[in-house]
């Protein structure tokens, strides 16, 4: 087989055979295909898309590039959650320990920052010494004793996604439905779950900006999951503004810890509780969403969710003392306050731009070898719908770069008007194998 011919075939919008997809993925993983050819292939897929069969074959090729984790030794339900990514989306850090504290197993294989969105692995690794590079044996051991383990793709587990994910991040090929499907579902099938809750973001801070595209993606993900005999459902949630107030790796750990200890961050907790409740329902742990939400509140109030987070951090080598005393963490060299240029109401925040600025401050990568600054990021003091006076603080930017322009750019992401606007519902729809249910209450 000839790799140039495979790229050309996709570039010309022809369907690839299963053998061609397997060849491409295997040879890339064996270092017989260079990054530049894989990048050209990814760009061809970005422009031409893939058929349902190609998508399934690509997902299978990713899975078979490594091992599948067998969790049948665990006597209980194995369930996970995965988001397509957003800005300030730290839900997994709260939801994982919260759901695990109720006795469900959470085997979570996550990703790093992708494009302008943050990644769970980078956030976790901002905790000093926290290891996400677990072997399969370590992952299973931690999961069986702690009920939750969070790791990244590795040489053992979906190595194809590990390498292609990093390439997509720096080649503008993130926003491709088939590439997202293969990336997400390969990790989820390989990790050994029974059921999966997907959070498909839409809006100006999401990979899929339009609602209809988010629904299309949800259906494509559910279809592959169902072919692998998994129970998969999806919530379509809004990413029209960052979730919560903190953006950046360590800052997102901080906000998650504060929520686990009882801080009320309404939008973040609305999504976290609803998704946790859907998982409880999927697992047969509760009979209704409201019962599931009550359970979430109870687990936060009685300290079980926070204790589970600490247990996980300890099991994965992380410095628990840093979590117990968040103020010990090193500080950024520069703190740039951002103020409002006028009085009125915040009518929108250009969320994608906020993610890009946070990455430029040091929270993300511009190329494969960039090293992340875990301290870098943004704290929003105001969100959409809030009243603001001229000159009032609306955000603070933290960075080791002496670049005040970043703060000026951040200021421009806020639009301010005279009228207070009504916020769109945060949780827009639920998608299952049977169809799409629009949710009127959020
Ligand atoms: N999450 C993933 O794991 N992969 C994607 O492509 C997008 C979100």
Give dist(CA 290, CA 278) in Å, integer.
10
Give dist(CA 286, CA 13) in Å, integer.
47
Catalytic residue among 183, 186, 276, 332: 183
What pLDDT was estimated at residue 442? 44
Give dist(CA 56, CA 197) in Å, integer.
19
Percent of the chain, pLDDT > 70? 99
What is the mean predicted confidence (pLDDT) over 318-337? 98
**Burial state string for 347-363 with b = 16 or more CB within 10 A and e = fewer than 16:** ebbbbbbbbbbbbbbbb
What is the mean predicted confidence (pLDDT) over 328-354? 97
Decide if 187 is catalytic. yes
Q: Strands (DSSP E) along 240-330, which ranges?
A: 246-247
Give yes or no for a contact between 429 and 436, defined as CB atoms under 8 angstroms apart: yes
Q: Is the pLDDT of residue 252 over 60?
A: yes
Residue nearest to atom 3 of ligand 1 (CA): 184
Residue 116: band (very low, low, confident or very high) from pLDDT cuts 50, 70, 90: confident
> Which of 81, 173, 180 to probe ligand 1 with, by most ligand atoms within 8 A of CB?
180
Q: Is 178 in the pocket of ligand 1 (CB under 6 A)?
A: no
Residue 367: band (very low, low, confident or very high) from pLDDT cuts 50, 70, 90: confident
Q: Is the pLDDT of residue 381 over 60?
A: yes
Task: Supply φ then ψ for residue 200, to 5 degrees.
Answer: -100, 115
Residue nearest to atom 5 of ligand 1 (CA): 180
Q: Where in the chain is the domain with CATH 3.90.1170.30?
A: 332-417
What pLDDT was estimated at residue 105? 98
Q: Is the pLDDT of residue 438 over 80?
A: yes
Query: Residue 109 Cα, ligand 1 centroid: separation in angstroms?
Result: 11
Q: Is the pLDDT of residue 441 over 90?
A: no
270-273: Cβ within 8 A, 24+ apart: 270/426, 270/427, 270/442, 271/91, 271/199, 271/237, 271/243, 271/426, 271/427, 272/91, 272/94, 272/95, 272/98, 272/296, 273/297
What pLDDT was estimated at residue 199? 98
List the single range of 118-122, 129-133, 304-308, 318-322 with lowest mean pLDDT: 118-122
Give dist(CA 435, CA 414) in Å, integer.
36
List the single range of 18-27, 106-115, 327-336 with lowest mean pLDDT: 106-115
Instruction: Assign domain 3-49 to its CATH superfamily.
Output: Transferase, Pyrimidine Nucleoside Phosphorylase; Chain C (1.20.970.10)
Query: Residue 63 Cα, ligand 1 centroid: separation in angstroms?
Result: 14
Torsion of Cα atoms, 108 then 355 then 380 then 256, to 10° = 10
Give yes or no for a contact between 224 and 187, defined as CB atoms under 8 angstroms apart: no
Decide if 168 is catalytic. yes
Conformational region of residue 229, where left means phi above 0, alpha means psi within -120 to 50, and beta covers everything else? left
Give yes or no for a contact between 239 and 251, defined as CB atoms under 8 angstroms apart: no
What pLDDT was estimated at residue 253? 98
What is the mean predicted confidence (pLDDT) over 416-436? 94
Q: Where in the chain is the domain with CATH 3.40.1030.10?
A: 79-325+426-438
Q: Is the pLDDT of residue 296 over 60?
A: yes
Q: Is the pLDDT of residue 440 over 70?
A: no
Decide if 183 is catalytic. yes
Residue nearest to atom 6 of ligand 1 (CA): 180
CATH class of 332-417: alpha beta
What pLDDT was estimated at residue 117? 86
What pLDDT was estimated at residue 343? 97
Q: Are strands 79-83 and 195-202 parallel, antiparallel or unpaired?
A: parallel
Average pLDDT over the chain reads 96
Give dist(CA 222, CA 205) in Å, integer.
23
What is the mean predicted confidence (pLDDT) over 415-422? 94
What is the mean predicted confidence (pLDDT) over 4-29? 98
Q: Model's pTM, two decimal places?
A: 0.95
Q: Strands (DSSP E) along 169-273, which ranges?
A: 195-202, 231-238, 246-247
Percent of the chain, pLDDT > 90? 94
Catalytic residue among 162, 163, 187, 365: 187
CATH class of 79-325+426-438: alpha beta
Q: Is 183 in the pocket of ligand 1 (CB under 6 A)?
A: yes
Query: Residue 184 Cα, ligand 1 centroid: separation in angstroms?
Result: 5
Q: How many CA atoms lie within 13 A of 232 on its CB side?
A: 25
Decide if 308 is catalytic. no
What is the mean predicted confidence (pLDDT) over 133-161? 96
Query: Residue 113 Cα, ligand 1 centroid: separation in angstroms?
Result: 9
What is the mean predicted confidence (pLDDT) over 327-341? 97
What is the mean predicted confidence (pLDDT) over 418-423? 91
As given in the structure block, the two tokens for residue 329 are 């963490």
Residue 366: band (very low, low, confident or very high) from pLDDT cuts 50, 70, 90: confident
Q: Is the pLDDT of residue 267 over 80?
A: yes
DSSP secondary structure, 48-114, as one string: H---HHHHHHHHHHHHHTSPPP--TTS-S-BEEEEE---SS--HHHHHHHHHHTTT-BEEEEE---B
Handedness of CA 105, 111, 112, 113 (dihedral sign): negative
As given in the structure block, the two tokens for residue 153 are 């793709």
What pLDDT was estimated at residue 63? 98
What is the mean predicted confidence (pLDDT) over 73-102? 97
Q: Is 84 in the pocket of ligand 1 (CB under 6 A)?
A: yes
What pLDDT was estimated at residue 368? 78
């Amino acid at each position: 087989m000839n790799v140039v011919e495979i790229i050309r075939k996709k570039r010309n919008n022809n369907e690839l055979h299963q053998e061609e997809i397997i060849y491409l993925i295997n040879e890339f993983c064996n270092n017989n295909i260079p990054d530049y050819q894989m990048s050209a292939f990814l760009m061809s897929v970005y422009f031409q898309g893939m058929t349902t069969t190609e998508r399934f074959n690509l997902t299978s090729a990713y899975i078979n590039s490594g091992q599948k984790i067998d969790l049948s030794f665990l006597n209980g339900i194995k369930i996970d959650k995965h988001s397509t990514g957003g800005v300030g989306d730290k839900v997994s850090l709260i939801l994982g320990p919260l759901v695990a504290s109720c006795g469900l197993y959470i085997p979570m294989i996550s990703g790093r920052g992708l494009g302008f969105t943050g990644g769970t692995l980078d956030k976790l690794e901002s905790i000093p010494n926290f290891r996400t590079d677990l072997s399969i044996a370590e992952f299973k051991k931690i999961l069986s004793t702690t009920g939750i383990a969070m790791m990244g793709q590795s040489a053992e587990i979906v190595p194809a996604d590990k390498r292609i994910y990093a390439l997509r991040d720096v080649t503008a090929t993130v926003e491709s439905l088939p590439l997202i499907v293969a990336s997400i579902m390969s990790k989820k099938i390989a990790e050994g779950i029974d059921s999966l809750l997907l959070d498909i973001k839409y809006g100006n801070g999401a990979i899929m900006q339009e609602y209809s595209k988010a629904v299309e993606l949800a259906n494509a993900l559910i279809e592959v999951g169902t072919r692998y005999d998994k129970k998969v459902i999806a919530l379509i949630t809004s990413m029209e503004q960052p979730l919560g107030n903190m953006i950046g790796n360590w800052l997102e750990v901080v906000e998650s810890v504060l929520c686990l200890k009882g801080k009320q961050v309404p939008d973040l907790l609305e999504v976290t509780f609803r998704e946790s409740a859907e998982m409880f329902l999927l697992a047969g742990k509760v009979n209704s969403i409201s019962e599931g939400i009550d359970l979430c509140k109870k687990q936060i109030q009685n300290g079980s969710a926070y204790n589970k987070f600490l247990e996980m951090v300890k099991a994965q080598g992380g410095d628990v003392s840093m979590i117990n005393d968040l103020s010990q963490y090193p500080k950024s060299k520069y703190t740039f306050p951002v103020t409002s240029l006028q009085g009125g109401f915040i009518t929108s925040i250009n969320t994608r731009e906020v993610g890009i600025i946070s990455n430029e401050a040091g929270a993300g990568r511009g190329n494969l070898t960039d090293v992340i600054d875990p301290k870098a990021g943004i704290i929003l003091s105001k969100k959409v719908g809030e009243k603001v006076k001229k000159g009032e603080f609306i955000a603070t930017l933290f960075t080791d770069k002496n670049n005040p322009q970043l703060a000026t750019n951040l200021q421009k992401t806020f639009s301010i008007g005279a009228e207070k606007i009504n916020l769109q519902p945060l949780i827009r729809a639920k998608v299952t194998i049977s169809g799409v249910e629009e949710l009127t209450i959020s």
